[in-house]
A and B are shown apart, each in its own frame.
Chain A
Amino acid sequence: GEDVEQSLFLSVREGDSSVINCTYTDSSSTYLYWYKQEPGAGLQLLTYIFSNMDMKQDQRLTVLLNKKDKHLSLRIADTQTGDSAIYFCAESISNTGTASKLTFGTGTRLQVTL
């Protein structure tokens, strides 16, 4: 079955690094995603990683994937107040010609304090 778990809340000080963690259960996942949701808005894709990669870096964002432990993390360097939002991880099973369906975690609320 598919199940994606995240911790509910994380508070960090502005300028520090944030690490948001996610565990998933479906070993056939091919892509894993991080989405950001700001208050009253839809989800915005931040980054994704292919399952044969261990790490992906994109400016202030670093994604680490441990396939053995089915663990995904998102590190935000130099966290800013504008990073305050809910972060969702999601997994996608390989597209076999049908719609690529995502299973979302419950989301982690990141609070950035001054």
Chain B
Amino acid sequence: NAGVTQTPKFRILKIGQSMTLQCTQDMNHNYMYWYRQDPGMGLKLIYYSVGAGITDKGEVPNGYNVSRSTTEDFPLRLELAAPSQTSVYFCASTDGSGRGETQYFGPGTRLLVL
């Protein structure tokens, strides 16, 4: 049981390049989330999904896209990378029980846009 896995661990992008951050969970969780964490800040929600085929915007969705074709995978797409997207990205999942549910976090992807 690997929990939530993310790839890559670290990436450097040039301005205008695109990339996909991968996230997979093996806990059969319906709810999945993407957060970004800027230095010295808390986590900001980018997008989330309540199940396969259903996604919705979070607090800071601009410049990102997501898809959820399966329960396990929730990739995050950056189409035109900008320096403001330099951050650490965390994927999380939960069973959605709503009773003090635990959000399980991946180890993060550190992205540097130059």
Q: Which residues of A contact B (CB under 8 A)?
A: 4, 8, 31, 40-45, 48, 50, 88, 90, 94-95, 98-102, 104-107
Contacts and interface: CB of A to CB of B under 8 A. Distances in A.
B108 A98 contact: no
Nearest to A106: B42
A103 to B, nearest CB: 8
Contacts of A41: 107-108
A50 B50 contact: no
A41 B40 CA distance: 15
Given A99-B56, A100-B31, A100-B96, A43 B43 contact: yes
Contact of B43 (A44, A50, A95, A104): A104
Contact of A44 (B41, B49, B105): B105
Interface string B38-57: 00111111001110000010
B75 interface: no
Contacts of A4: 42
A102 B102 CA distance: 11
Contact of B105 (A42, A95, A98): A42
A48 B101 CA distance: 9
B98 A101 contact: no
